[in-house]
Structure 1
Amino acid sequence: MRIVCVGGGPAALYFAISAKRRDAAHEVTVLEKDPPGATYGWGVVCQDGLLDMLYRNDRDSAQAIRRRSRLWQEQEVHIGGEGVGYLPGYGFSVPRAGLLEVLASRADDLGVDVRHEHPVPDSALTDGTFADADLVVVADGARSRLRDNDPERFGTTTTLGRNPYIWLGTEKVFSAFTFAFERTHAGWIWCYAYPTSAGVSTLIVECAPETFTGLGLDTLPHEDGIALLEKVFADVLEGCALISSSRGREAPWLRFLEVRNETWRDGNVVLLGDAAHTTHFTMGQGTRLAMADAVMLGQSLAEHPSVAAALARFDRRGREALGSAQASARTGAAWFERVDRYLDRDPVEFAYALAHRQGSQPEWRFQQHRATQYAAYRRGRRLAQTGRRWWRARKRGESL
């Protein structure tokens, strides 16, 4: 089968790997408009569930991804110097550039033709560009040019979120996933931070539009805006600098784009990853869902004799799997758009509200949450999580 993938992100590259692993006879080409290593962003979060899936699907790339990942333990919630609330959990993060390097290298090893600096026209789905392909995989991101050239083809609707955000790096190395909320004369502004690689962490800043304009972030020169953010978050950064350029690109301020499609397939064309669906970045699920799409599509092709049948199954199963995640993401995004309603609480109460922002909980859970704030309890919990993490790693066959 001749397969063409448009886009060189995790969805396209991991699908190429998954398809070739199941049938080496497939002729798979990945077309990416940017040069190797050119990627926006810093670290992406992954959990044990994603690592389990990666090890089952392709151990070689999974092992390489795990070697590049960094562990974070516990979650800390800081509110304007008033104290810290603690939440359980642990996870891993891997540099986005490193993830793409691993996937591109593995795809090349399997015989995938990965072509960087190879843009395709916006009209490629209709002008005959892919006439020789048996399957065309559109995986060029949330703002897909190919999909949006004819949005009625897939029933595409997009909704722009309210809050501006910017994705930065910092020299401060965080050991926990950290939320920090700071009050300014223009309103509240907050960040999410977690370790990414040796000496670097990811730090995403978000605020309401009124705070954004009130602080002048809409008009300040880029460097002055970054300097202002360093002052606002000076306590949590402990004097460390913010890094606003990734692979030569200045980080832009964005608003989250929710993408929904009535169908992910049309003829021999299928949408994958963010081109098909998005979930708000506060969920930390974008990369997991994209790579799960890739595995599901690869398996559907292996199990069905025709492309049409494979795409029909992928579309049906993918939609079923996505529903609850996308609903939770919308609820979470709306919570952060109204977060100032909750910031009059103490850090412990606020941390609880943040953790359960997608639904109400019985009263006993809050009492349990209060008990978990004590240092002795948290040490015991981290010890238990270390044991659980070791067991999951051994079960999936990690050899670090």
Structure 2
Amino acid sequence: MNVVVIGGGPAGLYFSLLLKQRHPEDHIVVHERNEAGATYGWGVVFSDIALSFLEDADPAFFRKFTAHHQRCDYMEVTHRGVRVPLHNNHFSRTSRIDLLRVLQEACAEAGVEIHYGSRVSDPAELPDADIIVAADGVNSEVRTRLAEHFRPSFDVRRNKFAWYGTHQLFHPVSLIFRETEYGAFIAHAYQYSDTLSTFLVEVDPDTWHRAGLDTATEEESRAFCEQVFAEDLGGHSLLGNRSNWFQASVVGNEHWSHGKVVLLGDALRSVHFSLGSGTRMAMQDAIALCDAVCAHRDEVPAALQAFESSRRDASAKFQDAARRSLDWYESVDSKMHLDPVAFAYDYMLRTGRVTHEDLHQRDPEFIARVEAGGYHQPNATPAAV
């Protein structure tokens, strides 16, 4: 089988690796538009649930992949300067560069060809391919070119974001809420190496305008955010890397494939980073696509339909949770009056996928504080999924 993958991110590389391992005779080529070693962003987060899927799919790769991960077993919500720990929330963090390096090395060892600095946007340029996997990101050029077939949808959200790094080490996955004279600012922070943490800043558009960030340069924005979170940064600076403001867009597609072309990763659908599940979903989709292709070696349309059938329900659930999470963050100004414990409790219930009972089993000490303060939401039930 002749397989071409457009995009050398986690989804495209992991699919290529798995398929090459199971069918070494297949000719698999990955076209990555960036040069080798080029990446933007800071760290990525996996829950223990996400890691279990990777371990089941390929134990050898899993051991290499997690060898240098930073792990923690709790998260922390900071509100009004008070840190509220939430235990038994297990996370594993690594740099995006290291994630890609391990995948690139594993692909090379397996015999996958990776062409760096190779930009392919038109499937018509690949007439000899049996399957074309478009894993070319949230702004997929392949998806755009074939939009009439995939029928993509884009839910552009209102809040503004900027990615930074810092040498301040946030051992737990940390959510920090700071009130200013302009409005509320939010930081999503977590350590992903021995020396660095991701520090993503979020702010609503009205606060963003009042603070003058709509006209600020990248450096001026970085310096402003550094001051907002000075207490949390402990004297450390924020580090920039193409740290321009952007808005989140929840991407979906009515159809996942067209002919021999199939979407994968963020080209297929995006899951907002407030859930920490984007890379997980991309790699789980890669596993499912590999399984489908292996099960229907001589029937590509059947393989692509089997992939969609196996994953569409999970995708819909996660995107629903993503929208609920985004709604919570976009209305956080109406919650800033809450006591820190009540605030953290409200946060944990935001998607409807976690109940009071779930939290009681996971962290009885936290729930004891919730119930002692009278913050229990007795009617909170999980969303229909």
CA displacement at 1:107 relative to structure 2: 0.4
Q: Which stretch has the larger CA shift, 363-372 or 225-234?
A: 363-372
1:166 equivalent to 2:162? Answer: yes
What secondary structure, in the 3-state scheme, does the structure 1 residue paired with 2:190 have?
Answer: strand
Matched residue, 2:339: 346
What's the counterpart of residue 190 of structure 2? 194
Q: Is residue 2:361 matched to residue 1:369?
A: no
The one of 125, 143, 148 equivalent to 1:147 is 143
Please point out which of 288, 294, 297 is paired with 1:302. 294
Structure 1 residue 365, shift from structure 2 partner: 6.4
Secondary structure (helix, strand or coil) at the match of 1:30 reads strand
Shift of 1:137: 0.2
Query: What is the Cα deviation at residue 59 of structure 1?
Result: 2.4
Does residue 262 (structure 1) correspond to residue 254 (structure 2)? The answer is: yes
Q: Deviations over 1:63-100 (max 9, x none)?
A: 1210121012311111232x222212121111001100
Q: CA deviation at 1:371?
A: 2.3
Match of 1:85 in 2: 84
Q: Which amino acid aligns with 1:165?
A: F
Secondary structure at 2:3 match in 1: strand
1:321-360 per-position Cα deviation (integer Å, ceiling 9, x unaligned): 2121111111111111101111101111100000111238
Q: What amino acid sits opposite 2:294 in the alignment?
A: A
> In 2, distance between residues paired with 1:172 and 1:145?
37
1:272 pairs, out of 231, 249, 264, with 264
Judge which range, 47-56 or 134-143, deviates more.
Answer: 47-56
> Is the partner of 1:68 in helix, strand or coil?
coil
Distance 2:158 2:7 in 1: 27
**Does the 8 Å CA contact 1:86/1:348 hold for their aligned counterparts?**
no
* Counterparts of 1:319 and 1:39, CA distance in 2: 29
Change (3 A) 1:118 1:365: closer
Uncovered stretches (5+) of structure 2, i.e. residues with no partner: 371-385
CA distance in 2 between partners of 1:86 and 1:29 (Å): 46
The unaligned stretches of length 5 or more in structure 1 are 374-400
Give the match for residue 18 of structure 1.
18
Please list, as runs of the form range in 1=range in 2, the aligned pairs for 1:1-400 lying within 5 A after superposition: 1-81=1-81, 83-88=82-87, 89-120=89-120, 122=121, 124-125=122-123, 128-245=124-241, 250-304=242-296, 305-359=298-352, 361=355, 369-371=366-368
* Paired residues of 2:341 and 2:369 also in contact (CA < 8 A): no
- The whole-number CA distance in structure 2 between the counterparts of 1:112 and 1:370 is 50
Distance 1:113 1:364 in 2: 45
The TM-score, its normalising length taken from structure 2, stands at 0.91
CA distance in 1, matches of 2:366, 2:2: 54
Amino acid at match of 1:281: F
Instruction: Judge conservation of contact 1:7–1:30 (CA < 8 Å) in 2.
Output: yes
1:368 CA drift (Å): 6.2
The answer to which of 87-96 and 348-357 deviates more is 87-96
Q: Distance in 1 between matches of 2:358 and 2:189?
A: 30
Q: Which runs of 4+ in 1 moved over 6 A?
A: 363-368
TM-score, with normalisation over the residues of structure 1?
Answer: 0.88
Q: Which amino acid aligns with 2:324?
A: T
Asked if structure 1 preserves the Cα contact closer than 8 Å seen for 2:32 and 2:118, the reply is yes
What letter matches 1:195 in structure 2? Q
Paired with 2:128 and 2:356, the residues of 1 have a C-alpha distance of: 58
**Alignment length (residue pairs):** 365
SS at the partner of 2:67? helix
Contact kept? 1:68, 1:95, Cα under 8 Å: no
Matched with 1:379 is: none
TM-aligned CA deviation for residue 32 of structure 1: 0.5
> How far apart, in 1, do the equivalents of 2:91 and 2:226 lie?
26
Distance in 1 between the 2:119 and 2:133 partners?
A: 15
Cα distance in 2, alignment partners of residues 147 and 102 from structure 1: 27
Partner Cα distance (1:186, 1:11) in 2 = 39
Matching residue's letter, 1:12:
G
1:389 counterpart residue number: none
Q: Percent identity?
A: 36
One-letter amino acid matched to 1:273 = G
